[in-house]
């Protein structure tokens, strides 16, 4: 096992609040151990273009509270080619980098897995995505902040929905996962969550109208996951117009608002713990693992398992939304 003296750190894919807290933790923990740290700009793209700068302890001062990522981020198609990865490896070696810490979601970890295998490079990943769709951690960095943003927005929408007695479809991010929609619904007291994990063939819109809305309520908020299988907020509102014209439906798509803002305390603590644990993992000789937190403890999960999608929303939470929305 070669001794590590210098690491590179990058953020890739969609940004997530708490990425800066993670960059800070990795940098400070590495410096604490006497390693040098290199900030790689714009994710894998910066590795290919050689945008690499040395980071000191004060390079990460005053960023724990900031959303986004000071390293910038990108989705990089060139890194999907063997040629692009070879250039990235050559630049990494030229900069004297022995190991990488990458922060991002499933695309980032997929890239890390291929790169690590191809060039026998130690890589440790931190789960940074608002989608919470990675196995090997109870929550991902950014998820809690996005959830709080959703709750704040729905609280406001509730005022106008109640006043006008309207049905609101609020579309939230999450790519193919329904964590934000489902837990956003629980936290905001929404009447329903329409998520990809519940597409069992039942007509969730009809169930909502028949069982809840029509019986006892004049207004309702429905959180809709952005996955096409849900029909999306616009699709559902069009159906209401056609099939249930007695209801006045409106649509709000929260979009990239959900990715911004100052990270919550929970995300800052998660990012700080995972960042320090990433350095610990490299010190111990671990490689090609994602660092996560399960039941309050740090765990290391091989990349293939982290990407396995074995984690899924809790069915009991699906039932909870139904039970509490009568
Ligand atoms: O993966 C994070 C995420 O915000 C998803 O929830 C969303 O589908 C996607 O990124 C949007 O990507 P972009 O910012 O590239 O449009």
Domain boundary among 232, 259, 286: 259
Q: Are 160 and 124 in contact (CB under 8 A)?
A: no
pLDDT at position 88? 98
Domain region containing 88? 6-142+263-306
**Active site (catalytic) residues:** 131
pLDDT of residue 103: 98
Same domain flag for 78 and 29: yes
218 and 151 within one domain: yes
> Encoding tokens for residue 237?
């509102």
In this predicted structure, what is the pLDDT of residue 326? 82
For ligand 1, atom 14: residue with the closest CA: 14
pLDDT averaged per 10 residues, the chain (length 326):
90 98 98 98 97 98 98 96 98 98 97 97 98 97 98 98 95 97 98 89 82 73 96 96 93 98 98 98 97 98 93 95 89
Task: Describe the strand order of the beta sheet including 220-225 as a list of residue ranges.
Answer: 192-194, 220-225, 167-172, 249-253
Q: How many domains does the chain have?
A: 2
* Contact by Cβ (8 Å): 100, 90: no
Residue 175 CA to ligand 1 center (angstroms) comes to 7
- Residues 186, 68, single domain; the answer is no
Residue 325: the pLDDT is: 87
Of the residues 175, 253, 260, which should be mutated to test ligand 1's pocket, given the most ligand atoms within 8 Å of the CB? 175
pLDDT at 309: 82
Give yes or no for residue 239 CB within 6 A of ligand 1. Answer: no
29 in Cβ contact with 275 (< 8 Å)? yes
What pLDDT, on the 0 to 100 scale, is given for residue 206?
Answer: 87
* End-to-end CA, the chain: 59
What does the radius of gyration of the chain's CA atoms come to, in whole angstroms?
Answer: 22
Identify the CATH number of the domain in which residue 56 sits: 3.40.50.450
User: Are 18 and 127 contained in the same domain?
Assistant: yes
Question: Is the CB–ligand 1 distance for residue 259 below 6 Å?
Answer: yes
User: Are 114 and 295 contacting, i.e. CB atoms less than 8 angstroms apart?
Assistant: no
pLDDT at 207: 83
In the block, tokens 């800052």 appear at 268
**Would you say the CB of residue 107 lies under 6 angstroms from ligand 1?**
no
What is the per-residue pLDDT for 55?
98
Q: Let me know whether 197 and 184 are in one domain.
A: yes
């Amino acid at each position: 096992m070669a001794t590590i003296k210098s690491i590179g750190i990058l953020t890739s894919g969609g940004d997530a609040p708490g990425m800066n807290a993670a960059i800070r933790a990795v940098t400070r923990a590495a410096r604490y151990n006497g390693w040098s740290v290199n900030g790689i700009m714009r994710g894998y793209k910066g590795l290919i273009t050689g945008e690499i700068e040395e980071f000191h302890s004060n390079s990460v001062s005053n960023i724990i509270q900031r959303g986004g990522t000071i390293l910038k981020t990108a989705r990089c198609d060139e890194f999907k080619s063997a040629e692009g990865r070879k250039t990235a490896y050559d630049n990494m070696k030229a900069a004297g980098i022995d190991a990488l810490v990458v922060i991002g979601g499933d695309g980032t970890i997929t890239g890390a897995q291929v790169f690590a295998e191809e060039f026998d490079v130690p890589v440790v990943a931190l789960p940074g995505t608002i989608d919470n769709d990675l196995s090997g951690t109870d929550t991902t960095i950014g998820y809690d902040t996005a959830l709080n943003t959703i709750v704040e927005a729905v609280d406001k929408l509730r005022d106008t929905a109640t006043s006008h007695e309207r049905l609101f479809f609020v579309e939230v991010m999450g790519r193919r996962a329904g964590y934000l929609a489902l837990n956003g619904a629980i936290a905001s007291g929404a009447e329903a969550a329409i998520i990809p994990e519940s597409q069992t063939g039942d007509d969730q819109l009809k169930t909502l109208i028949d069982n809840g809305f029509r019986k006892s309520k004049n207004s309702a908020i429905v959180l809709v996951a952005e996955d096409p299988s849900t029909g999306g907020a616009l699709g559902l509102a069009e159906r209401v117009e056609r099939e249930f014209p007695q209801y006045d439906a409106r649509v709000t798509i929260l979009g990239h608002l959900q990715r911004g803002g100052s990270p919550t305390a929970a995300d800052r603590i998660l990012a700080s713990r995972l960042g320090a644990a990433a350095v610990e993992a490299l010190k111990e000789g671990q490689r090609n693992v994602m660092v996560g937190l399960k039941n309050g403890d740090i765990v290391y999960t091989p990349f293939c398992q982290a990407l396995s999608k074995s984690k899924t929303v809790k069915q009991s939470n699906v039932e909870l939304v139904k039970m509490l929305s009568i």
